[in-house]
Each structure stands twice: as structure tokens, then as C-alpha cells.
Amino acid sequence: MGIRVRDTYVHTNLCQLNLRFGPDEPLKEMVGLQREFRIFSADHSLAQAFMLLNIGPPQEWEQRTGWYLYLSEDLVGFSSDDPAYSNAHDRIVAALKANLESKNPLPVHFTCHDTSKTHPGVFIKGDDTPLAFSRRKYLTISLPVVPAS
Amino acid sequence: MSSNTDPQLGNVRASIKQYYTERVLKYGPTPRGADWTCVATQELRFVQLLKLLDFTVSFSLNDVGCGYGALLSYLAKRHPNTCIDYLGIDLSPAMIRHAKRLWKHCGHASFVIGNSSPRIADYSVASGIFNVKLDQPIDLWERFIADTLADMHAASRLAFAFNLLSPASLEHMHDPELYYSAPQPWVLYCERELGCSVEVVTGYGMREFTLLVRR
């Protein structure tokens, strides 16, 4: 993402994701959308799903394209933290699907990490408490990124 | 006084026309241009409204506040085999221009500028048209809703459907430019004033409800 999308837009994207998958009403909406449309499934790429949800830089075409290329092309090249999935993209889709279709879905906290420093690919953790200001449980999805030079 | 000559309702409609014209000029024929978050939530609302319809037979449909005709796109995806005689009605000439351009090759769809349907169809639907009240006082906005529902009733042979925002659980989350309501006042209005039976659809994940109103 760092290479594809300018710094400020990375924040915008993460902020949009955290608002749309946040606790209470946003999560209920996402569960309703998943129930009706199966947005997150092997039938749709993450880029298609997020396009449908209009998650991405709102106006700037170049930044929007960069974001969707990150989702559709770059994520496939990163590894999964779960050996059941061959790449980060498929792991994220499966995690979102399983969470939204579960009996007790969790809000999702999206963040990102530099792959050269910690995990080489995507990192996903359920029942996480990623926010210093909250004891609420989240599904944390840390997107793998390579910093822009 | 007829609703079309009531100056207060005329002002309400003028402000709606201006608001949505500005939106579509700024964002184009997209969900944002019609003030929706995204295609997915727009279509989740369509799913509820269309629970009214029997897609095994052909029918005619009025889409009140049609915007750029997003409902047609949904119908083409979900119900490609049903023959639907569609008429989109919108207050904003800019919206109707976009709709006509987008759907010019769709032989069974037409669009008109206006606040009510010029024809009687089997069904009428209105998605989200009562949500953005801007700075209108609530009693005037409710008069606008009642008037529009009476028009939809008059233009529907079998049934009509619309949606409204539910009040937020926390008062401070209310946007003063939006209209929120419990279902009951509008259920009673449709039952008592329009003589219809009403089904309330809730629990589809959005802070709103849909009323399916049958004659």
C-alpha cells in the first residue's frame, strides 16, 4: 500500500475500513450485507468487495486505482499467517467471511505493518484488544505493506 | 389546496430538487451522487422494498425519487428474466438527464421529471426520499411525506413500499438534517388514511425500516 498509495490516503483507507467494520451499527450493517450478498467469498476479490462498499480514496482516481491494485495484485504476493491459505488476499477474504457469518461476529480493526520488520505477510488475530482506549474484542487484520522510498 | 399548489410543499420540493441536483453535478451518477454510502447498502434497501413484488409475472413499476436509475441496474442483475415496465420519477432534471443517458438502450424504461407519477402502475417504490429533510421543520416534512405517500397510493394498483430511518439509540448521534421516525405513526397513516394493510420489515442490518403497503 505504501508504494501504491500516498501516506495520507493510507490513513484514509484504514479509517474508512475501521468505520465501516466498527462496533455496533456499522458491524450490523456489514453482517446484513454479507447475509444478503455474500460480499466476502471466494467468488469475489477483495478489490471487488471494497469497490462495492465504496471503501477507498473518494475522489482521486490515481490513488483509488493504486488502492485497488494493492488489494487485487499486491496482496496475492504476500504470504498468509495461516497455512490453509496460499496468500494474504485469500486469507483476508476467508477471515472476513468467517467473522461476518459467525454467531458472534466481532468488529474488525484494520491496521498495517512493515513486512521487513515483523510478519512477512498478513497477520490476523481474533479476540484481540488492539485499542489502548478500549477493552472491546476485535478481529485484528494487519495488512502487509512495503514502505515507499 | 392541492398539494401541487401548496406553496410550502412547493418550497420543500424546490429545496430537494436543488440538493440532489448539486449532489449529482458534484459526484455524477454514482451512489454518492444520490447520497448513498455505496452500491451495497443501496441494493440492500432495494432487496427490502422489492419484497413487495412477485417476480414470476410481468408488472409495471413506478420508482419515485429514482435518481439516476440505480434500481434498474439492480433489477437487471437480480431479476433479468422478469419483464418490468419501469417509470422513474425525480424532482431533479439533472438526475433525469443522467438516467436517460444511462438507460437510453433500455426499451422498457422511461423517466420523467416530477414529484408524483403521471401514470398508475402495479407497484410504486421510493428508496430514501424521506431521509434528508435539510432544514425543513418536522411538521412540514411530515406533511410532505404524507402527501407523497398519498400520491404513491393513488398511482399504485396493487401496492407500494418506502423506507425511513429509525431513531439512533443515542440522541447525540442524530443528524438535524435527517428525518427519523418509529414505524408506528406511518403504519397508522397508511392503515387509517389510505385504507391499506402494512407489513414492517426490519432487522436487515441498517438503522431503518421498510414499509410494504398493500391495498
Mean pLDDT over B25-44 rounds to: 90
Q: Which residues contact A10 (CB under 8 A, 6 or more apart)?
A: A1, A2, A112, A145
Task: Give the pLDDT confidence score for residue A45 in this predicted structure.
Answer: 96
d(CA B173, CA B89): 32
Residue A47 resides in a domain: yes
Domains in chain A, number: 1
Residue A79 resides in a domain: yes
Chain A partners within 8 Å of B39 (Cβ): 52, 54
CATH code for the domain of B184: 3.40.50.150
The cell numbers describing B81, all together, are: 428474466
Task: Give the pLDDT confidence score for residue A62 in this predicted structure.
Answer: 86
Task: Give the pLDDT confidence score for residue B153 in this predicted structure.
Answer: 98
Name the minimum distance, in Å, from the CA of A36 to any CA of chain B: 7
Task: Give the pLDDT confidence score for residue A4 in this predicted structure.
Answer: 80
d(CA B125, CA B65): 9
The cell numbers describing A55, all together, are: 471503501
Look at residues B200, B205, B152, B215 and name the one whose alpha carbon lies nearest to residue B49.
Answer: B200
Task: Give the pLDDT confidence score for residue B96 in this predicted structure.
Answer: 97
Asked if residues B161 and B213 have their Cβ atoms less than 8 Å apart, the reply is: yes
Residue A2 resides in a domain: no
| Model confidence pLDDT, tens digit, residues B45-95 | 999 999 999 999 999 999 999 999 999 999 999 999 999 999 999 999 999
Chain A partners within 8 Å of B44 (Cβ): 32-33, 36-37
Q: Cell 496460499 appears where? A: A86
Supply the DSSP string of B175-204, one letter for each residue: -TTB-B--SHHHHHIIIIIS--EEEEE--S
Note the ipTM here.
Answer: 0.86
* Residue B107 in this model has a pLDDT that exceeds 90: no
d(CA B125, CA B152): 8
Task: Give the pLDDT confidence score for residue A13 in this predicted structure.
Answer: 92
* Residue B31 in this model has a pLDDT that exceeds 60: yes
B206 at the A interface (CB within 8 A)?
yes
Q: Chain A: residue nearest B47 by CA?
A: A36
Residue A11 resides in a domain: yes
Q: Which domain holds residue A43?
A: 7-145
Q: Cell 462498499 appears where? A: A53
Mean pLDDT over B22-42 rounds to: 89
Higher pLDDT, B90 or B106: B90
Q: Do A25 and B207 touch (CB under 8 A)?
A: yes
The cell numbers describing B84, all together, are: 418490468
Task: Give the pLDDT confidence score for residue B143 in this predicted structure.
Answer: 97
d(CA B64, CA B117): 7
Q: Which domain holds residue B143?
A: 7-214
The cell numbers describing B49, all together, are: 422494498
pTM of the complete model? 0.90
Residue B1 resides in a domain: no
Residue B161 resides in a domain: yes
Residue B31 resides in a domain: yes
Task: Give the pLDDT confidence score for residue B174 in this predicted structure.
Answer: 82
As a whole number, the mean pLDDT across chain B is 94
Higher pLDDT, A59 or A96: A96
Interface of A with B in 11-70 (CB under 8 A): 25, 28-33, 35-37, 39, 52-55, 58
| Model confidence pLDDT, tens digit, residues B152-171 | 999 999 999 999 999 976 66
List C-alpha distances in Å: B9 to B1, B101, B180. 11, 29, 19
Provide the terminal-to-terminal Cα distance of chain A, rounded to the nearest Å. 12
Asked if residues A107 and A139 have their Cβ atoms less than 8 Å apart, the reply is: yes
Tell which of B44, B174, B201 to mutate to test the A interface (max A CBs under 10 Å): B44
B166 at the A interface (CB within 8 A)?
no
Residue A1 resides in a domain: no
Asked if residues A72 and A49 have their Cβ atoms less than 8 Å apart, the reply is: no
- Phi, psi dihedral angles at B130 (to 5 degrees): -105, 5
Residue B145 resides in a domain: yes
Point out the least confidently predicted range of A61-65, A87-91, A137-141. Answer: A61-65
Residues of chain B with pLDDT > 70: what percent? 96
Q: Which residues contact A131 (CB under 8 A, 6 or more apart)?
A: A109, A138
Domains in chain B, number: 1
Task: Give the pLDDT confidence score for residue A60 in this predicted structure.
Answer: 80
| Model confidence pLDDT, tens digit, residues A16-25 | 999 999 999 9
Mean pLDDT over B106-119 rounds to: 95
Instruction: Report H helices in chain B.
Output: 7-27, 39-49, 70-78, 93-102, 138-154, 184-188
Structure confidence at residue A149 as a pLDDT band (50, 70, 90): confident
Residue B154 resides in a domain: yes
As a whole number, the mean pLDDT across chain A is 93
d(CA A82, CA A41): 17
Residue B108 resides in a domain: yes
The cell numbers describing A130, all together, are: 488492539
* Residue A1 in this model has a pLDDT that exceeds 70: no
Task: Give the pLDDT confidence score for residue A147 in this predicted structure.
Answer: 84
| Model confidence pLDDT, tens digit, residues B123-137 | 999 999 999 999 999
* Residue B1 in this model has a pLDDT that exceeds 60: no
